[in-house]
Amino acid sequence: MPDYGLKGHAAVITGSTSGIGQAMAHALAAEGVNVLLNGFGDPARIEADRAALEAETGVRVLYHGADMTKPDQIADMVGSAHREFGRLDILLNNAGIQHVAPIEEFPVEKWDAIIAINLTSAFHATRAAIPLMKAQGRGRIVNLASAHGLVASPFKSAYVAAKHGIVGFTKSAALELARSGVTANAICPGYVKTPLVEAQIADQAKARGIPEDRVVEEVILAAQPNKSFVEYEHLAGLLLYLVSDMGASTTGAALSVDGGWTAA
Ligand code: NAD
């Protein structure tokens, strides 16, 4: 493994009590990055996971329970990471939810929640992080978009809109920050078998009226030419590159990790 030169850096990772965010927190902590975790879940389990990661890696691991639909809580989360760690090097906007339904039946409150959590929260967190990163002359903003930031699927209108939105937001941020030492990029994974995807398998089965095993074969991995779920390590490899000095010239990019999905 290369030395990514990240020892002593500090990261905020939204939605890191589960799935991809949690795995990316482990990958960064293993490289010596102090991390602030965020997300929902059973408080006892979150605290146990936080303490275990700290013990395993020797870095500082904090938790902030900011709700990604609440701008003031998001700003407080970013500010408290900077106060506690004395710096902020990495912001990974990762929190996300999904809902699957035809547009005419799409619950309005689900649309609003998906846009707030999957798109607008990244604006609030980035807005709070930029002055801190600019003052350091270096920073890394990474947005966890999706293959659905580049192409669409039926029944996921809010998610596709939010993910296309975050790819556009990433590009604007990159241009605004181009001379500041701060980069902004989007990672666009195909399917990763996280709790979010497990829930989608059930939802798609309902929306399409077919059994779950057929959903995996014919719907979920139908889009992925390599017919394999993306592994956490594949995302961690790209993230570590982006946040290291090797990633200094990569900005404004929407980078696919999707087994060839968006090549089609
Ligand atoms: P997950 O459901 O396992 O984790 C989502 C995290 O977000 C959890 O920690 C949850 O507590 C947190 N969260 C949800 N609502 C929140 C809120 N209001 N405030 C704070 N935290 C909140 O999901 P995942 O599959 O790990 O997805 C992570 C990101 O990756 C999402 O943005 C998702 O769209 C994206 N993504 C996932 C896949 C996939 O196949 N799993 C593919 C492409 C992109």
Residues lining ligand 1, Cβ inside 6 A: 15-21, 38-41, 67-69, 94-97, 117-118, 144, 146, 189, 191-192, 194-197
Closest ligand 1 atom to Cα of 17: 9
Domain co-membership, 241 together with 205: no
Alpha-carbon gap, residue 183 to 247, rounded angstroms: 8
Domain co-membership, 157 together with 235: yes
Alpha-carbon gap, residue 219 to 215, rounded angstroms: 5
Q: Identify the domain containing residue 87 by its residue range.
A: 10-190+230-257
- What pLDDT is attached to residue 209? 94
Joined tokens for residue 53: 């990661």
Q: What percent of the chain has pLDDT over 90?
A: 89
Confidence band of 261 (pLDDT split at 50, 70, 90): very high
Domain co-membership, 102 together with 222: no
Pocket test of ligand 1: the residue of 12, 14, 18 to mutate, having most ligand atoms within 8 Å of its CB, is 18
Question: Ligand 1 centre from 41 Cα, in Å?
Answer: 12
The residue whose two tokens read 């968006």 is 262
Question: Ligand 1 centre from 17 Cα, in Å?
Answer: 9
For residue 121, being part of any structural domain is answered with: yes
Report the CATH number at residue 152: 3.40.50.720
Domain co-membership, 143 together with 202: no
Domain co-membership, 197 together with 186: no
For residue 111, being part of any structural domain is answered with: yes
Domain co-membership, 112 together with 209: no
Joined tokens for residue 17: 């009590």
Our count of domains for the chain comes to 2
Domain co-membership, 216 together with 250: no
pLDDT tens readout for residues 96-123 = 999 999 999 999 999 999 999 999 999 9
Question: Ligand 1 centre from 26 Cα, in Å?
Answer: 16
- What pLDDT is attached to residue 199? 87
Closest ligand 1 atom to Cα of 68: 19
Joined tokens for residue 244: 């290291």
For residue 90, being part of any structural domain is answered with: yes
For residue 17, being part of any structural domain is answered with: yes
For residue 143, being part of any structural domain is answered with: yes
- 256 φ, ψ (degrees, to nearest 5): -85, 135
Domain co-membership, 69 together with 195: no
For residue 208, being part of any structural domain is answered with: yes
pTM of the model: 0.96
Pocket test of ligand 1: the residue of 12, 97, 215, 235 to mutate, having most ligand atoms within 8 Å of its CB, is 97
Question: Ligand 1 centre from 39 Cα, in Å?
Answer: 9
Domain co-membership, 158 together with 202: no
For all residues of the chain together, what is the average pLDDT?
96
Domain co-membership, 61 together with 98: yes
Domain co-membership, 99 together with 178: yes
Q: What is the DSSP string of 36-64?
A: EEE--S-HHHHHHHHHHHHHHH-S-EEEE
For residue 3, being part of any structural domain is answered with: no
Q: How many CB atoms lie within 10 A of CB 177?
A: 20
For residue 93, being part of any structural domain is answered with: yes
Q: Which residues are catalytic?
A: 159
Domain co-membership, 107 together with 220: no
